[in-house]
Each structure stands twice: as C-alpha cells, then as structure tokens.
Structure 1
Amino acid sequence: MTSSTPGALAGLRVVELGQLIAGPFCGQLLGDMGAEVIKIEPPGAGDPMREWGQGAEKVQWEVIARNKRSVTCNLRMPEGQQLARRLIQTADVVVENFKPGTLERWSLAPDELLAAKPPLIIVRMSGYGQDGPYSDRAGFGGIGEAMGGWRYIVGDPDRPPARMGISIGDTLCATYGTMGVLAALHHREKTGEGQVIDAALYEAVLQVMEGLVPEYDYNGYIRERSGSILPGIAPSNVYSCKDGPFMIGANKDGIFARLAEAMGQPELAQDPRYATHLARGQNQEELDGLINAWTSTLTMDEVDEAMIAHSIPAGRVYTAKDMLADPHFQARQAIVEVETQTRGAIRMQNAFPKLSKTPSSIRRPAPAVPGQDNLEIYGSLLGMSGDEVARLAAQGVI
C-alpha cells in the first residue's frame, strides 16, 4: 500500500548524503512526513545499507529508503562534487553523517554551502560532534551508546555490558537530527536564515539517560546493570506464564492494589513490605517472586484477561509474528503492506506519529537500483541532457 497523502513537509526538498543508519533514518523520517528526499549514493554498489539486515534476503533497505529517489554521484571526484553542489542549490535541507571534516575535504563545507544559499539547513550527524577533542575519531552507533552511558547499564549484573537488538544510538541521533530540522525550519520561516545542526551520537544517547548524571553528581550513585528490572521500581518485570513471558507494570500504589486483588491476595496491598513505592522497591526480588509464582499457574490469555479486568498496564512480549497477527496493529494500520520494486509486497512499520490534518505516509517504495533516478533528477531538475548524463556515467562520476 502506497499513499497519495502529501504530508506536513510536502514541498520541502532534502538531499541525503548519508550512509548506513543515522543519516538515512533522518531522511526516512523527513520523507515519511512528506519531504521530497533525493538520496545520493556512490556509483556501483550504492549505500552499504542495501546489504544490511537479518535473514536470507536483506530487506531492511525497503524501510529506511522508502519515500526516496536515488541518484549516484562520486563525491571523491571534483566533477561529482560540483554536481552535488548544483543539486544542493535546489534543496531546503542537506542530511549527512560522515566523519567530521569529510564534507570539507570534498569541497562541500557547510559555510560555503550556506554562503551560496543562506536559507539552507544542514544537519550533520557524527559520533562525537563537529568539535571537541574526539571529533576527528570514527564513531558508530555502538560507540555512542557506550560513551553516552547506555551500554554500561544494559544487561545482567554478572555479565559484560550488552546491547539492544537494534542500532538505537543511530536512530536516536537521527531522531534528534530530525527535531533539529523542524526547529530550524521554524526559525527560517521567521527570519529566512538557514543554519547547521550538529547532532552527536553520544549526546543523543545521553539525552535519554534520565537521572544517570545528576544521581551521581548529587548522590554519588552509579547506575549498574540490573537485567530485566529497574532497581526500586516494582513490580515492573517480565513474568513467566505456562505458555510464555508476560510483562506487568504495576508500580503505583493504586495499580498495585488492583494487582493484589487480581492475584486473589488483596492483603498484599496493606502489607508493610509492599504498601508503598519505596517499600516495594526495597523488597523487589521477593515481590517479583510472589507475582511469578501466581503467573506461572496461568496461561498468558488468563493473565491478560485478569489484567484487563483490573485495569493494570500489562501485555505480551511481542515478536514480529505476534505483531502481524494482532488486531490492534491491524485496526490502527501500524503495519502496512508496501509493494516494493523487486521483491513484491512486504509488510513493514507505518509512518508515525499520526497527524490528523497532514498525515505522514509511504508514498513510494525504496529505490531498487543505485542511481535509478539519475536521468529524472539530473535531467528535469538540473537541466542536463541525456548525453551529458551518459557521459558522466561512463566517466564514473555518477
């Protein structure tokens, strides 16, 4: 399913220079909201992201490259750099996630781009930011997660730091980069001025680390790995049912009282060990054991029914298979079927969040071949002839 809904950012043109996740995910978010995204890929194999993902067929590309058109351009060649500058002159936003200094080496320095087009917005995503003593270091999402504090607290206490099953550092950085673009667009609307957005991977991670820094600064407390719980927040854990795991979050006094009633043990809500938030936190392991002893006698459906009846936040731990079968996902069209260019129909996450007047959508599938839109973009947008496009291709420029 593709849509003709224009989106809130319709009429905005984005040139995406990035590769892999941070830059392209920012481009995906802007494209989902209606922006026209022109992705520049290296001639030949294109963005390495085309080969990323799990399973026999690498289909993650179909998500991150949707709503984009692809042109190829060799940014290491002077003629390619000149071509990119011409394309950027037609754009409102430039997205890039190369190592700091790369654009400058390619004669695409932001100050020069802004001098040529003052309203331009340039969002730069990197491991450590564009300045500072570490700025010239290489940095992937996992490094940002480690430096930003995420990796240290993820995993079991008796094991080395773990990771999530996704590249959360990259996507957080891309999300903050997108927020920066939206703020910069508002500023430009009032002043006509463009600007540069500097989004660092480690800072994007740091931003979501809650009280980690002030807790140490004020209390001398260092958060440690705690497995499936947050220390002191109870009950909030994954419990075992007869047929699988089930998540329950009842860590407020009133909600816990309802959980105790659902368990057939209403007296727990008055027990001094569990009656208050602080008491439950101090007796977290014991309380989790009581709840797990109850859930283990029931199926997930039975626990789910009890949680709904008592208005307790709870639910199954979903896999992709569960999502595709769930009626709530279906009712809200959280997952949609997209007709791809070479793989047929593939189901994937929809565009979020939902806007009532200018809904985001998937308007076009990911480009199957690097540079498949060269003639359209370079021809209609830059006025190049077919012969000129063919010459640049033969010379390895595009």
Structure 2
Amino acid sequence: MTAAAPSSALSHIRVLDLTRVRAGPTCCRIFADFGADVIKIEAPQGVDPNEGMSGQRLGYDMQNLHRNKRSLTLNLKKPEGRAILMRLVETADVVVENFRPDVKERLGIAYEDLRAVNPRIILASISGFGQTGPYRDRAGFDQIAQGMGGLMWVTGAPGQGPMRAGIAVADSSAGIYAATGILVALAERERSGEGQWVQTSLLQSQIAMMDFQAAAFLVEGKVPGQAGNDHPYSTPMGVVPTQDGFINIGVGGEGQWAALCRALERPDLANHPDYAVQDLRFRNREKLMTELAAVFATRSSADWLRTLDAHGVPAGPIYRVNEVFADPQVQHLGIAKPVRHPQLGDIRLVGQPIDLSRTPAGIASPTPDAGEHTEEILRDIGLDAGAVSDLRAAGVV
C-alpha cells in the first residue's frame, strides 16, 4: 500500500489537542487531515482515573479519530507538566480542550493563562452545556444532548416514545462547529494579530442541527413531532417497502409527483382529488402511502430504482454499512481511505467529506502509540535526552 501524501493546506498551523472521546478529537482530526501539526497531549498511563474512556488504542474508533497526529504524554497535574505545556503554547496556533469548564481554571490553563504566554493563541473549548450558566459544570454526553436539544422527540415513529439517533449527532457536530470557529478565528487573526477564545457545546450544536425543526417553533410556535420514516412536511417522501426490501423516495413538488405517477403507471393518482396537490397529499398521507406500498410491493428494489431514475424521480437504496462501501458512487468518491498500521496492517478509515482541488486532505499516518513522539516533541523545545529521562522518572511524561 502506498502511503498517502500529507496535505499542505494547514502545514503552517500547530494544534495542541487536549481532547478525548469524540467531539474534541473530531475537531482536531479535521486539522490533522489537512496537514496541521496536531500534537495529541494525553496523560501518562495510570494518571487519568477515566483512562480507557475513549476505547481501545487499536480499536476502530481510536484509529479513525486520531490519525495524522503526534502523541506526547504529559501529566498536567504536575507543575512541570503544565510548564511544558506552556512552552508548547508559545509556538502553537490553537489549543483544543473538552474538559469540564472548571478544570482548565484549576489547572491554570484557561484562556487568559494561555494568552499571557502567547497573545496569538486560539483556545477552542467544547463542553456539554457551555462555559457559563447553571449547567456549566455538568458532565455532557451525546445522548443527553440529543434529548435536551429536541432531537429524540422528532426521531422515531409516532407514539413509540423518544428515540436517539443512530450516530453521535451532538458530539460530531460540536467538533465540526468548533473547527469552523477556529478557522474563523485564524482568518480574523491575519488582520488583528490576536487570538481569541472559541466556544461551543454539545447542547448548542444539537439545537443548531435541529435547524428547520427548531425554526418551526421559534418563528411559528409549532412543536414538531415524530414522523418516523416520513418527511415531516412533504409527501410522498420516505420509505416504501418493495418486493425484496425497502427504498427511499423523495417527491418534493408537483412536477416530481406527476413523474412518480408516470413511473408507477398510475395516471389516476396524478389528479386524484385526495392527492392532486402537496397540501392534500400531506393531509391524506396515511391513505396515500398505503396505496403506494401496494404498488411498490410488486417489484424488486433494484427494478424500481432503475424505473424511478429513468423518470427523474429522486430515489435511493437503504444500505447497511457494508453495502454503503460497496456502492460504485461511494467507491468513486473514495471516502474510505487506506493507511498502513504497524500492528493492524492495511486498514481503511473514513476520510474527510471535503474535496479541495490543490490541497486535499490526506491520511498519511495511523493513530500513534501513546507518547510515541514524546522525545521528538520535547527536543523541539530544547530538552535533551537527560532531561526527558528525568521527566519520565518523575512521572511528568
């Protein structure tokens, strides 16, 4: 396997990654994949009481989240460890952390502490509920944010109770929003010469991801409910059973409705008094979907998808994850990226969903062992082998 070339897009940026679990690592992964020097700072073995929360080092999640980074072990509970962090801050551009808000204050690594060392530093803080307010010190997890952000009452079938989404929506979106904030701060720093404090939380990010559902309440006072596999406002748009499985259809306007009726060879539906326009179809959704289900049940999913495509009706298969990566369009997009791991061998990871024409993202190296680059990084700030050995003996690195 040929190693991918690292991206040069952000090779001038150094990021100190103090994060763990998912939201923070998602943020830092973006910078690492676009070529930034991301130093993953983690506690030496046995120091962190929650060690292992992020999963097994050789497991799929750690490998997917921490590729392209260098690893430094550093005990921030010791003053010598904090002193080393501050020396790194002197030449860094960004620090990313997802401690509870009070932790960085206790450690003496809050924004004002970092800014005193390097006025150009950008601190990105990702918390469960925000850096201030009545919930600031609560522990936050993705599912808790899904519930508090409204997602679980618009997910799932009506009447079956709240349902979590099958992915970590709040965690992942918080990481992406944090990265967006950092990029804005970096761009602004070009003009002002100063860094700033970027903040987001799982709760804010989950609410932002609610988007039109949240706007329906804020603008018109509507409280959206669960719609199952149906779109909350457009019909027919959702899952239909076929002879051998299920497919998604999406009919967003009158032209597409007419095209669907032609594809189904059911011209009688096009101007039916219960279905002629979108409002009527929505009002009579249950009856309409029952009629459509009877038609779609007569042929296979593949047959219907060919027919619908030929008529210009938006439709698609409903894949399990193994089927996703077997799809020819997914393979063409190349989002499954190969990398060679010294212990796991040749593996594939999920690439960035962004293509740049000159400086694309790349996965050049797998997740490092804990502390793999400790001596290398400490040499960069002027410590010799003897000093590193002393720090190891003292439990600092």
TM over 0.5: yes
Aligned to 1:176: 177
Per the alignment, residue 268 of structure 2 pairs with 267
- How many Å separate the matches in 1 of 2:301 and 2:217? 39
Deviation at 1:7, TM superposition (A): 3.6
| Paired amino acid for 1:189 | E
Amino acid at match of 2:371: G
Q: Does 1:376 align with 2:380?
A: no
Alignment partner of 1:239: what SS?
A: strand
Displacement after TM superposition at 1:52 (Å)? 5.9
Out of 9, 26, 48, which is 2:52 matched to? 48
Deviation of 1:50 after TM superposition, in Å, equals: 4.8
The 3-state SS of whatever aligns with 2:145 is helix
Report if the CA contact (8 A) 1:154-1:161 is conserved. yes
- Alpha-carbon contact 1:62-1:340 (below 8 Å) kept: no
Q: For 1:329-349, what per-residue CA distance to the aligned partner results, in whole angstroms no more than 9, with x for missing partners?
A: 222212122212321111222
What is aligned with 2:298?
297
Cα 1:52/1:164, change in 2 over 3 Å = farther
1:206 aligns to 2:207 (yes or no): yes
The question of whether the paired residues in 1 share the 8 Å contact of 2:63 and 2:366 is answered with yes
**Matched residue SS, 2:143:** helix
Q: Is 1:18 matched up with 2:19?
A: yes
- Partner Cα separation in structure 2 for residue 239 and residue 2 of structure 1: 43
CA contact 1:16–1:95 (8 Å) conserved in 2: yes
Give me the TM-score of the superposition, normalised by structure 1. Answer: 0.94
Shift of 1:148: 1.5
CA contact (8 A) 1:19 1:48 kept: no
1:233 counterpart residue number: 234
Q: 1:166 matched to which residue of 2? A: 167
Verify the 8 A CA contact 1:169 1:201 in the aligned structure 2: yes
The unaligned stretches of length 5 or more in structure 2 are none
The TM-score with structure 2 as length reference comes to 0.94
Partner letter of residue 372 of structure 2?
Q
- CA displacement at 1:34 relative to structure 2: 1.9
Q: CA deviation at 1:370?
A: 0.7
Q: Deviations over 1:120-177 (max 9, x none)?
A: 1111000111111211222122222222211222122222211122211111111100
Whether contact under 8 Å (2:6, 2:34) holds in the other structure is no
Aligned equivalents of 1:290, 1:335: Cα separation in 2:
39
How much is the aligned-residue C-alpha RMSD, in angstroms? 1.8
Range with greater deviation from structure 2 (267-276 or 103-112): 267-276
Bigger Cα displacement from structure 2, 211-220 vs 169-178 = 211-220
TM superposition shift of 1:327: 1.4
Equivalents in 2 of 1:318, 1:248: separation in Å? 14
1:55-93 superposed Cα distances (whole Å, 9 cap, x missing partner): xx7311111001111111111222111111112222101
* Residue type at the aligned position of 1:280: R
Which digits, 9 at most, give the CA deviation of each residue in 1:185-217, with x for residues without a partner? 110011111000010111111112123344334
Q: Contact 1:14–1:95 (CA<8 Å) still a contact in 2? A: yes
Q: Distance in 1 between matches of 2:56 and 2:311?
A: 44
Task: Tell me how many residue pairs correspond in the alignment.
Answer: 393
Is residue 37 of structure 1 aligned with residue 38 of structure 2? yes
AA in 1 matched with 2:55: E
Gaps of 5+ in 1: none
**1:390 match:** 389
Equivalent position of 1:329 in the other structure: 330
Please state whether the residue corresponding to 1:163 is helix, strand or coil.
coil
Structure 1 residue ranges (4+ consecutive) displaced by more than 6 angstroms after TM superposition: none
**Deviations along 1:221-261, whole A, 9 cap, x unmatched?**
21112211233321111111222221111132111111111
315-324 or 257-266, which deviates more: 315-324
The percent of aligned pairs where both chains have the same amino acid is 36
**Residue 38 of structure 1 contacts residue 70 of structure 1 at CA under 8 Å; is this kept in 2?**
yes
Q: Where does residue 347 of structure 1 map in the other structure?
A: 348
1:249-264 pair list within 5 angstroms: 249-264=250-265
Letter in 1 for 2:126: M
Against the structure 1 CA distance between its residues 52 and 271, is the aligned structure 2 distance closer, same or farther, given a 3 Å change threshold? farther
Q: Report the Cα distance in structure 1 between the residues aligned to 2:20 and 2:126, rounded to whole angstroms.
A: 11
Distance 1:236 1:230 in 2: 6
Query: C-alpha separation between the residues in 1 aligned to 2:373 and 2:220?
Result: 57
Per-residue deviation at 1:179? 0.5
Cα distance 1:122–1:274, how it changes in 2: closer, same or farther (>3 A)? same
Matched, 1:195 2:199: no
